[in-house]
């Protein structure tokens, strides 16, 4: 299916929406009426045609807009990109993984030609063409990791595996749900996830770490994470909290359906062949309550999940100010019908 890339903005006037197709394929994360953290990791295998998991890296109608937004965020704050010096092999691993995946899965948009180590990469939607020597950073216009992170939707963290844990030793992070790469770079798995309430007590982080340290080359894994956010803003960083924090005061019963968005992260992790590191891809999908309620099954489900949410999670996910109003708005769709387990829209 040919993609029509939309012109859109993720700040200021927020000119953003999902097409009917995009709504239907939205990765709705709630299979049941209640939610609590779990190690919901599964193999990142090929999903149904048209789904967000059809390919290793999903390219959708927001591709051009998101790549542009990445560039704006990075231009305003270079600290969104950081990589420690020992991660150069992992940088090239990332280049290979992303270029091969995009060229293979979306040949109408991307191409990769290889002549030994002489590679030529072409990205038609962003109008980029570049020849370089694979493994020779001097032939790239910038760090290899930064180069490709700018051309794939989502955030990327390079994990180094040593001392029986994973260290976040590099990252390109411009669409994060309130965590700071500049602060977290170099942290071990446990330190990095330390502020997540309940997860430590539940043992979730330790089990996830054990699982991830054993993922194999060619067998990536994935999970979904979520939060609710005001406005379709990708850059909800702590760095720019003074810019978006007050948005939480602007929600009222009239605008709530357009303002509040379900923000879902498709997180996938790939073992890297040279460095034995892992790339952690965090791809963000945004959908307004109004768009989501196109499918009553989703609206009913979200109502029940939010109504029974643990207070710690309401606070941690920054929903305190608008949570009761949101539950009230969602209640209009919920007739009490029993919903079977599953995330499907209908």
The catalytic site residues sit at 223
**Minimum distance from residue 341 beta carbon to another protein (Å):** 31
Q: Which tokens go with 271?
A: 């073992």
**Minimum distance from residue 191 beta carbon to another protein (Å):** 4
**Minimum distance from residue 242 beta carbon to another protein (Å):** 5
Residue (of 106, 138, 139) closest to 120 by Cα position: 139
**Minimum distance from residue 228 beta carbon to another protein (Å):** 16
Strand order in the sheet with 110-115: 110-115, 118-123, 128-133
Q: Looking at beta carbons only, is 123 or 227 nearer to another protein? A: 227
> 7 — phi, psi (to 5°)?
-90, 120
Cα separation values, 125 from 60, 72, 140, Å: 12, 17, 20
Residue (of 134, 108, 105) closest to 119 by Cα position: 134
Calpha distance 302→312 (Å, rounded): 18
Beta bridge partner(s), residue 123 = 110, 128
Q: Please give the angle made by the CA atoms of 196, 202 and 203, to the nearest 5 degrees.
A: 90
**Minimum distance from residue 180 beta carbon to another protein (Å):** 5
Q: Please give the angle made by the CA atoms of 160, 233 and 97, to the nearest 5 degrees.
A: 35
Residues 6+ apart with CB under 8 A from 203: none
Q: Looking at beta carbons only, is 183 or 211 nearer to another protein? A: 183
Q: Are 327 and 304 in contact (CB under 8 A)?
A: no
Calpha distance 48→197 (Å, rounded): 34
Q: Looking at beta carbons only, is 192 or 329 nearer to another protein? A: 192
Q: Looking at beta carbons only, is 64 or 168 nearer to another protein? A: 168
Q: Looking at beta carbons only, is 228 or 287 nearer to another protein? A: 228
Q: Looking at beta carbons only, is 242 or 336 nearer to another protein? A: 242
**Minimum distance from residue 205 beta carbon to another protein (Å):** 9
Residues lying near another protein in the complex (CB under 8 A) are found at 79, 163, 180, 182-187, 190-192, 194-195, 197, 200-201, 238-242, 245-246, 248-249, 312, 321
Number of neighbours of residue 204 by Cβ within 10 angstroms: 18
């Amino acid at each position: 299916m040919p993609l029509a890339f939309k012109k859109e903005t993720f700040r200021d006037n927020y000119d953003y929406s999902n097409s009917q197709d995009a709504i239907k394929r939205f990765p709705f994360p709630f299979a049941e009426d209640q939610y609590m953290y779990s190690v919901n990791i599964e193999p990142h295998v090929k999903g149904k045609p048209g789904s967000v998991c059809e390919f290793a890296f999903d390219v959708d109608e927001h591709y051009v807009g998101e790549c542009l937004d990445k560039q704006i965020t990075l231009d305003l704050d270079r600290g969104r990109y950081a990589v420690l010096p020992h991660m150069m092999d992992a940088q090239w691993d990332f280049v290979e993984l992303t270029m091969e995946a995009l060229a293979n899965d979306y040949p109408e948009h991307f191409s990769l030609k290889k002549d030994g180590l002489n590679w030529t990469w072409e990205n038609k939607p962003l109008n980029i063409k570049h020849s370089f020597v694979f493994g020779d950073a001097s032939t790239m216009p910038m760090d290899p990791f930064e180069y490709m992170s700018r051309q794939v939707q989502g955030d990327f963290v390079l994990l180094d595996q040593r001392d029986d844990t994973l260290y976040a030793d590099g990252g390109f992070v411009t669409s994060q749900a309130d965590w700071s790469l500049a602060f977290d770079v170099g942290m071990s798995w446990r330190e990095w996830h330390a502020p997540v309430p309940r997860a430590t007590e539940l043992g979730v982080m330790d089990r996830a770490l054990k699982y991830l340290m054993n993922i194999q080359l060619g067998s990536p894994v994935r999970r979904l994470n979520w939060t609710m956010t005001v406005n379709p803003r990708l850059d909800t960083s702590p760095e720019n909290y003074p810019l978006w924090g007050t948005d939480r005061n602007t929600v009222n019963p009239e605008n709530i359906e357009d303002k509040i968005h379900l923000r879902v992260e498709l997180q996938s992790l790939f073992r890297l062949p040279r460095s034995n590191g892992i790339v952690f891809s965090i791809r963000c999908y945004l959908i307004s309550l109004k768009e989501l309620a196109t499918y009553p099954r989703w609206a009913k489900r979200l109502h029940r999940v939010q109504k029974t949410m643990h207070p710690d999670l309401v606070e941690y996910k920054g929903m305190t100010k608008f949570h009761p109003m949101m539950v009230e708005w969602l209640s209009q769709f919920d007739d009490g019908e029993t919903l079977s387990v599953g995330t499907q829209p209908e």
